[in-house]
A and B are shown apart, each in its own frame.
Chain A
C-alpha cells in the first residue's frame, strides 16, 4: 500500500465516522452510532500501526515519511501546505491517539447508552480525533495550529454537550475562550518564527537553527519560544491559564478521559517537544517553562487534596501531571516528557474511565463522600483503578514510576535543572500519592456511605474491557523506557527502547558526568516519600475514622484556601472579567451614545427640517415613491455635474 493512501485513510476513517453520525444526529440508536465511530477509530489505529511498522523498517537516521496533499496558503514567501510528517515523535503520538481513542470510543458505547443524542456525541468524538491527528501530523506550524484550534472546538462542543444545563455550556465557553488567549499568543509566536526563519516547516526550521543559544529576553528565537509557550499554557492548562480544565469536567466522562487527560491537553507538551531544537536555543524560556511546570504541578496537587468530586480530583491531578511534563521539557528532558505523556495517557485515561464506570454505577453521583466500599460491588473497576493508582503514584514496576522518576532525575542532574525544582517535584510526588490514596480510600475502600436507594453494580463488558486493556498498559507501558541505572541490575539488559527510538527526532540535553549513586539515592528518596504519604492517607481515611476531620479543622484556613482553589476563578472574575464588562458598558454608553452621537445630533438637529419632510414622504403611494426616487437620482446627478 502506498504511504499516501495510508495517510489519507488515517484521516478519512474518523472523518467519515463524523459525517455518518453527524448527518443523523437526531438518531437515538447508540449501538449503531457507537459501532460505526469505534470501528472508524479502530481502522484508523490499524492504519497507524501499518505506518509505524513502515517507519520502523527505515534506517534510524532516515525515519521520516512526509506526504503533500495540496497547497493551502501560498502568498508571497509564505507557504503553508496541507502536508504531513510521520517521524518518531508523531508515530508515538498517533499510536496513543488512535489506540487510547479506540478504547475510549468503545467505553462510550455503554456509557452513553441512556443518552438522548448518542449520534451527535460520537460524531463530535470522531471529529476530535480527526483534528488531533492533524495536530500531531502537520509538517508545519500552521497545520498544527489548524488541529490545535480544531481540537479546542471539539472540546468546546463536548464540554457543553449537555447544553441545557447552563453551567455546562458556560464551562465549554470558558474552555474555548481561555484557550483562545493562548492561541493568540501562538499566532504571534508563529509570526516570529516565520520572520526569523522565513518558513514555518519544522524540518526547514531545524535545518536553519543557529548554533549558539540566545541570551536575554529580546532575541527573536527567545520571543518566539515564549509566545509559543504561552500558547501551550492555554491548551495544556498551566498557570495562569489552567482554570478551564477543572470546569471542563462538565463534559461526559469518556470525553474527560480522551480530551482532557490523554490527548488534547498534552498538545502543548507535544508542541515544545516538536520544536525542541528551537527551545534549546532559548535557555531563559526553558527556565521559565520549568518553573511554571513545577509550580503548576505543586499548586494543582495542593488543590487535589481537598476536592470531593471524583472527577475534580482527577482533573487537578491531570493539571499537576501536565506540570511535570512541562518541568521535564523545561529542564531539557524532552524524551522523558514524551515518555510521561504516554504513560499518563494510559493511567489517567484508565482512571477517568474508571471514574466513569463508578459514576455510571452510582447514577451520576460524583461526590466521593457518598461512596466508599465500592470494591465489593465493582471488582473489575476497582482492580483496574488500583493499577492506575499504583501507576500514577509511581510504584515500580508500573508505568508511572519510570517516567516520573526520569523527570525528577533530569530535574536534579540536568545543567538546566535545579535542586529547588527537584524538591518541589518530590514533594508533589508525595502529595500525589496522598490525594490519590485518599481518592481510592473514599471511593472503593472503607465503609460504604452509599445512599440506600442506590445499588452500585459492575459495568457491562464494553466498559470493562477498555479498563482491563488500559490497566495492562499502565502496568507494562513503562518498560519501554527503563533507565540505564535499573536495567544494569536486570537480567538481559533491557534497553531504553523509547530513548533510541526518539533519538534522531528529539533534541536531548547532555547531562554530562553523572553519579549513579545520586540517581539511586534520589529514586529511593522519592519512593520513600511516596510510600510514606500513601500510608498516611490510608491511615487517615481508612483505618482511623474521624482523624481526617480533625486535621481539616486544625488546618481550616489552609484547607479552605485549597478547597476553594485559592479563589483564582473569583480573582479572575473580580479582577479582569467584570471590570472588562463594566468598561465595555461605559464605552458604549459614554463614548458611543453620549459623546459621538451627541456631536452627530448637533448635525441632525440642523437637519430636522428634512426629517419632517421625510415623514410626509411615507404616504403609501407607490407612484409617489418611485417619483421621489427618480427625482432624487436626478438631483444628485445634476448636483455632481454642476460641481
Chain B
C-alpha cells in the first residue's frame, strides 16, 4: 500500500495557509482556517485507523531523494513515539482557531495563515525521519510563531519575539553542527555514502569516554541537549518562555505551550536517548537534576507572579521539568510517563491559556490582584477552570495524575533522592495554582469583576472550544490504556534496546535513492 497520508497531513495546512493569504477575503479567513484545520484533524484520524499497534517499526513511510550528494531525503514516517504528538497538533489547531474567533480583529488573513503554516512545521518536525528535514521543520516553526508574537503581541512584543528567536537559534546552531558531524560519520557505515537519515544515525557506534567532556559522543550529546533544553525549556535556559507567553496572543500561547515545547522533549526521545546511549546513561543524573531544579524553581517563581499568564508560563517550566525527568529516568515508567505528560501538558496548559485568554478578552487585564470573586460572576467559567486546574495539579482521575505518577515512579527507580525532591513539586504545584484560584475566583469582588460583572460568563462558542479538552482530561485520566497502548511497542522497543537502538520500516514504498541500505523487513523486532 502506497500511502500519502503523512505528506497530506503535513502540507495541506501550508497549502491552505497560502490559499487564505492570497485568495480568501479578510472576513472569511477564520471560516476557512477552521474548516481546513478541522479537515486536517479528520484526515489525521486516518493515521490512527491505519496505524498498526503491533509493531515498533516506522509506518506509513514516504521517502524521496532530495539532495542526493549528501544523502538528504524527504523522509517521513510515524511510530508510537510521534503518533500522539501528531494527533495532539492536528487536534489543538482547530481548537486554537475557534478560540481566536473574536480575539483577533486585525490582519485576520495573515493571522490564520500563520497558524496553519505553524501546523505544517510542527507536524513536519514530528514526522521527519531525515535529520536535515527535521532541522528544517524545527527551525521553520520559529517563523510563524515569530509573526504571531511580533504582530499580535502585547506591549513588549518586539523584545519577547527577538528573545525567543535568539534563544532558539542559539541552540539550533549547535544542533546543526551536530547533525552535520553525524552525517559525515555515516560515511563510515556499510555502503560508504553520506546519509542524513535518522535511521542510519541509529546504526552509528559513536565513541564515548566517560569522565571527559571532549569526546565525540559527549559533545554531540550536549549539542543536541542544548537545542532541545532551550526548546522545552529547561532551567536555566527557560527565560524566553515567560516573556514569549506574556506577549503572545492566546493562540500563540496555546500552540507554543501545547505543541511547540514538545519539539524539545520529542527531540530527546527521538534523537538523544537512542543516538547517544552511553552519554545519556552517564549524564542522565545531570539532566534529571536540572529537571528537578526546573520543577521546583518553576513552581516557586510561578507562585509569586502578579500576572496570571506569566504564572501559567512558569508552571509550564515546572511541568516540562517533569517530562524531562521522566525521559531521563531511562525506564519504562519514566519514559511512558514522560510521553503521556507531553500530551497532558498540551491539553491542560493549552486549556489554561485558552481560559486566561477568554477572561483577558473581556477585561484586557491579567493582573491577579485586580480579580477576586470571579466564581460568583462566572460560575460555568469557574467550573471549567477548576477542572483544568485539577488536571494541572494532577488530581487522580484526571490525565495529569497518570503522567506525574508514572514519571515519579520511574524517577524513584532511577534516583530516590531526586524523586523525593520532585515529589515536592506535587505540593508546590497545588500551592501556586490554588493560591491563584483563591485570589482570582474567591473572596470579595475585585475591581475588574465589579466593572465587567455581566460580561464575564463564558459563551457557547467558548464552551465548544473547551469541551473537548475537558472530555480528554477525564478520558485520559480514567482510561490511559486507550492512549498508551498505541505507544507501548515503541517505548518497549526503545527501552529494551537502549544501547543498540535501531528502527526499521516495512519497505513498501518506492525508494528512489540507490545508495540506501537494504532495509530488512523486521516487523517482530523485539
Contacts and interface: CB of A to CB of B under 8 A. Distances in A.
Interface of A: 25-26, 70-76, 78, 142, 145-146, 149-150, 153, 156, 160, 163-166, 169-170, 173, 176-177, 180-181, 183-185, 187-188, 191, 194-195, 580-581, 583-585, 587-588, 591-592, 596-597, 600, 603-604, 607, 610-611, 614-615, 617-618, 620, 622, 625-626, 629, 632-633, 636-637, 640-641, 643
B304 A588 contact: yes
A640 B143 contact: no
Nearest to B492: A76
B303 A584 contact: yes
Contacts of A622: 21, 107, 109-110
A14 to B, nearest CB: 15
A600 B406 contact: no
Interface stretch (B35-43, B162-170, B211-219, B516-524): B162-170
B390 to A, nearest CB: 7
Contact of B409 (A191, A588, A629): A191
Contact of B162 (A72, A177, A592, A614): A614
Interface string B383-417: 00000001000011100011001101100110000
Contact of B301 (A142, A165, A587, A625): A587
Contact of A180 (B150, B161, B430): B430
Interface string B483-503: 010001000000000000000
Contacts of B114: 629
B442 A160 contact: yes
B304 A173 contact: no
A147 to B, nearest CB: 8
Given A188-B420, A636-B139, A581 B304 contact: yes
Contacts of B167: 600
Contacts of B444: 164, 166
Contacts of B336: 75
Interface in B348-399: 372-373, 375-376, 379, 390, 395-397
B431 A640 contact: no
B110 A618 contact: no
A150 B397 contact: yes
A26 B135 contact: no
Given A73-B402, A581-B303, 15 more contacts: A75-B333, A78-B409, A153-B390, A160-B438, A163-B442, A165-B443, A166-B443, A176-B434, A177-B427, A180-B426, A181-B427, A183-B426, A585-B304, A596-B236, A597-B239
Contact of A596 (B132, B239, B373): B239
B19 to A, nearest CB: 12
Nearest to B394: A149
Interface string B161-188: 1110011001000001000100000000
B170 A603 contact: yes
B329 to A, nearest CB: 12
Contact of B412 (A170, A191, A587): A191
A184 B162 contact: no
Contacts of B163: 600, 604
A607 B424 CA distance: 40
B395 A640 contact: no
Given A176-B430, A581-B303, A626-B22, A75 B442 contact: no
Nearest to B375: A163
A194 B409 CA distance: 9
Given A153-B390, A587-B300, A600-B163, A187 B379 contact: no
Contacts of B467: none
A398 to B, nearest CB: 39
A246 to B, nearest CB: 19
Contacts of B110: 622, 625-626
23 contacts: A70-B479, A73-B402, A75-B333, A75-B488, A150-B397, A163-B375, A164-B376, A166-B372, A169-B443, A176-B434, A184-B424, A188-B412, A191-B412, A191-B413, A587-B297, A592-B239, A600-B240, A607-B166, A622-B109, A636-B136, A636-B140, A640-B132, A641-B67
Contact of B373 (A164, A636, A640): A164
B15 interface: no
B441 interface: yes
A169 B158 contact: no
Given A177-B434, A195-B413, A626-B110, A607 B162 contact: yes
Nearest to B67: A641
B299 to A, nearest CB: 9
A188 B419 contact: yes
Contacts of A166: 372, 438, 442-444
A584 B163 CA distance: 23
A149 B136 contact: no
B147 interface: yes
A435 B291 CA distance: 51
A212 to B, nearest CB: 24
B301 A173 contact: no
A223 to B, nearest CB: 9
A211 B156 CA distance: 67
The residue in B114, B161, B304, B435 that gathers the most chain A C-beta atoms within 10 A of its C-beta is B304
Contacts of A176: 430, 434
Given A592-B239, A626-B110, A629-B147, A73 B396 contact: no
Contacts of A629: 114, 117, 143-144, 147
B207 interface: no
A194 B402 CA distance: 16
Interface residues on B, range: 35 or more
A150 B478 CA distance: 14
Given A588-B301, A614-B158, A603 B166 contact: yes
B480 interface: yes
B423 A187 contact: yes
A191 B419 contact: yes
A615 B161 CA distance: 11
Q: Which 5 A-B pairs have the closest CB atoms?
A: A169-B442, A166-B443, A584-B300, A163-B442, A146-B396
Contact of A637 (B136, B332, B420): B136
Given A169-B442, A626-B21, A71 B481 contact: yes
Contact of B480 (A72, A142, A145, A169): A72
B151 interface: yes
Contacts of A640: 132, 135-136, 139, 176
Contacts of B170: 603
Given A75-B332, A195-B412, A187 B405 contact: yes
B164 to A, nearest CB: 11
Contact of B143 (A173, A614, A632): A632
Contacts of B397: 146, 150
Nearest to A165: B443
A184 B426 contact: yes
Nearest to A174: B434
Nearest to A182: B427
A184 B431 CA distance: 13
Nearest to A582: B304
Nearest to A152: B395
A636 B239 CA distance: 25
Interface string B431-470: 1001101100111100000000000000000000000000
B388 to A, nearest CB: 14
A584 B420 CA distance: 20
A164 B443 contact: yes
Given A610-B162, A615-B158, A173 B434 contact: yes
Nearest to B432: A584
Given A145-B396, A164-B442, A610-B162, A187 B427 contact: no
A584 B303 CA distance: 7
Contact of B435 (A150, A173, A180): A173
A170 B379 CA distance: 19
A546 to B, nearest CB: 41
Contacts of B479: 70, 72
A600 B147 contact: no
B412 A153 contact: no
A142 B406 CA distance: 12
A585 B167 CA distance: 24
